[in-house]
Structure 1
Amino acid sequence: MNNLAQEKKYKKIITALSIVIPIAVAALFGINLRELGFDVAPLKFLPPIYATINGITAILLIAAVIVIKKGNRKLHEQLNSLAIACSLLFLLMYIAYHMTTDSTTFGGEGVIKYIYYFILITHIVLSVIVIPFVLITYMKAKLGKFPEHKKVAKKTFPIWLYVAVTGVIVYLMISPYYV
């Protein structure tokens, strides 16, 4: 299969994933297995783990930029692949947590409450927006279209990094209110 045909195929997959993932997360987020009568233990231990995974993702992204600037394409690819795997692992744990545990309400008041919700909302919105960016960036590299990859990566990196870092910040801000 030639590059153009591969790219066309990948773009269809990217479009599908960019639509299906947010819809599936939103749908699953609203389902609590315990409320539906399933005998599952609440997975209350997951938030610090998935917050740590977000932190690791941020570190991997920064390291990937550093190594590509030093010309190490192989390590750059490995770090980014690992960052994608971490993001996927985060997503699975996040869904599992919310499907087994009641949501936690932020208890802060005053200005901190507005700061928290600003960070949370921008985190959520950008986490949806970054999906196609990450997948397109990855696809361009896999197809060897490095000038295009670099152009998209310059947009993808700051958004993905923001999502990873704010995931940790949101956790740290809400963690005192977990029951």
Structure 2
Amino acid sequence: MNLTLEKNDRLAKWLIYSFSAVVFIAVTVLERITLDVDLGFNPHILAMVNAIINSIVSVLLIAGLITAKRGAYDAHRKIMMAAILLSVLFLLTYIAHHLFAGSTWYGDTDKNGIVSEAEKAAAGASRTIYFFILGTHILLAGVSLPFILFTAYRALTGENARHRKIAKITWPMWFYVAVTGPIVYLMISQYH
């Protein structure tokens, strides 16, 4: 796999920041839209698919880190490209899930879209834990996207020192997002 790019920092910055902004806007806007369409299956299955994808990305990130530390750079590149491609698939299924299933509210045991005081009390401290994990997950998901893209760009242009430097920031953020995604799913799925 000899995928390389010609170095063009100005174009790369414009593309990465534009793509990141479009993704942020699309996720934010589409989060508020629900399409009432019969898909022939429960659209919440897409949330489970997302959790599985994130779990696989977590494993790939660990494998990518190990292969980089061992100097197996060809394997590292393939693993990290697989993680990026799976993350794109995740983004598509995430948007589809929210478009077709709408939002689920933590603690909404009667599934009416309103979390009453009694439901909040029943959820207890787990509700606070859920919102902490969800909030940090969302924040780092948004922040990490341009970092992931810049890290990949530096690798694909052969700027290995710059790639390693930014990867030290990118990897922990991306890994946290990938690990907390399935945790969020496990916590919220009981309310689907």
> TM-score if structure 2 supplies the norm length?
0.86
Could you tell me which residue of structure 2 aligns to residue 161 of structure 1? 175
Could you tell me which residue of structure 2 aligns to residue 17 of structure 1? 19
Residue type matched to 2:62 in 1?
Answer: I
SS of alignment partner, residue 123 of structure 2 = coil
Residue type matched to 2:56 in 1?
Answer: I
CA distance in 1, matches of 2:179, 2:145: 16
Deviation at 1:2, TM superposition (A): 6.2
Could you tell me which residue of structure 2 aligns to residue 144 of structure 1? 158
One of 10, 26, 29 as aligned partner of 1:27: 29
Q: Report percent identity of matched pairs.
A: 43
Q: Say if 1:50 and 1:93, in contact at 8 Å, map to a contact too.
A: yes
> TM-score if structure 1 supplies the norm length?
0.92
CA distance in 2, matches of 1:73, 1:164: 22
Long gaps (5+) in structure 1: none
**CA separation of 1:2/1:81 partners in 2, compared to 1, >3 Å: closer, same or farther?**
closer
Could you tell me which residue of structure 1 aligns to residue 44 of structure 2? 44
Instruction: Quote the RMSD (CA, aligned, Å).
Output: 1.4
Could you tell me which residue of structure 2 aligns to residue 94 of structure 1? 94
CA distance in 2, matches of 1:2, 1:75: 22
Could you tell me which residue of structure 1 aligns to residue 64 of structure 2? 64
SS of alignment partner, residue 18 of structure 1 = helix
Q: Say if 1:33 and 1:40, in contact at 8 Å, map to a contact too.
A: no
Residues 1:115 and 2:129 aligned together: yes
Deviations 1:62-88 (A, max 9, x none): 100001111111111111111111111
- With 168-177 and 100-109 compared, the bigger mean Cα shift is at 100-109
CA distance in 1, matches of 2:6, 2:23: 28
Deviations 1:23-81 (A, max 9, x none): 111111111111xxxx4425221111110000000100010000111111111111111
Residue type matched to 1:165 in 2?
Answer: V
Deviation at 1:102, TM superposition (A): 3.0
Q: Say if 2:54 and 2:182, in contact at 8 Å, map to a contact too.
A: yes
Structure 1 stretches of 4+ with a deviation exceeding 2 A read 39-42
CA distance in 1, matches of 2:96, 2:30: 9
